[in-house]
């Protein structure tokens, strides 16, 4: 779902900041729709359609061009698939809107910066998002992981954790 969120992010940001959507987000919407359709038709990730794989991969072996194989399911199933794809995209859209709303100030700053310059460099983006470097994030995770491990070891010594 994270890929769908990322693909819808630009579109939702345009809606929120400019109250309009440009055609630039069209390819992202197309790709998000394809991922949602694959989730439903190939990976069985839909309650209504069920745990079933209805289609194989939609690309030919040597060509990275999507192909449309003949439907191997009924019109009713096709309708259900379309409903589930729309549901996935609608829920993802709402989640992305929620995430961006919780970071509205950063979104506005980034949008204003992008209106003045075409490319935003990493340090500028990190400053807006108030994010440390990737290395410091990895270090924090390692540090937290070692603290968690030490806590488990301590509980084992006290007989609180089996293992």
pLDDT in tens, 3-42: 999 999 999 999 998 888 888 778 899 999 999 999 999 9
Residue 92 and residue 1 in contact, taking contact as beta carbons nearer than 8 Å:
yes
2-131: which CATH architecture?
Up-down Bundle (1.20)
Instruction: Summarize pLDDT for 53-64 with one digit per residue, the tens.
Output: 787 665 555 555
What distance in Å separates the CA atoms of residue 96 and residue 130, rounded to the nearest whole number?
Answer: 19
User: What is the per-residue pLDDT for 89?
Assistant: 98
Q: Where are the domains of the chain?
A: 2-131, 132-163
Instruction: Summarize pLDDT for 65-112 with one digit per residue, the tens.
Output: 555 555 677 899 899 999 999 999 999 999 999 999 999 999 999 989
Residue 5 and residue 93 in contact, taking contact as beta carbons nearer than 8 Å:
no
Please give the residue that has the higher pLDDT: either 127 or 52: 127
The DSSP call for residue 25 is: G
Please give the residue that has the higher pLDDT: either 57 or 49: 49
- Please state the pTM of the whole predicted model: 0.68
Residue 112 and residue 105 in contact, taking contact as beta carbons nearer than 8 Å:
no
User: What is the per-residue pLDDT for 97?
Assistant: 97
User: What is the per-residue pLDDT for 29?
Assistant: 94
User: What is the per-residue pLDDT for 58?
Assistant: 58
């Amino acid at each position: 779902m994270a890929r769908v969120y990322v693909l819808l992010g630009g579109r939702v940001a345009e809606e929120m900041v400019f109250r309009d959507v440009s055609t630039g987000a069209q390819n992202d919407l197309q790709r998000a729709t394809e991922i949602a359709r694959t989730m439903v038709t190939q990976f069985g990730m839909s309650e209504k359609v069920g745990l079933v794989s209805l289609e194989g991969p939609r690309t030919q072996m040597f060509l990275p061009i999507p192909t449309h194989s003949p439907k191997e399911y009924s019109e009713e199933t096709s309708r259900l698939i379309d409903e589930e794809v729309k549901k996935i995209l609608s829920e993802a859209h709402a989640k992305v809107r929620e995430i961006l709303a919780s970071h509205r100030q950063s979104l506005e700053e980034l949008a204003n910066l992008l209106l003045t310059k075409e490319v935003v460099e990493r340090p500028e983006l990190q400053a807006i998002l108030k994010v440390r470097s990737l290395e410091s994030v990895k270090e924090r995770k390692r540090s937290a992981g070692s603290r968690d491990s030490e806590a488990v070891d301590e509980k084992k010594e006290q007989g609180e954790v089996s293992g």
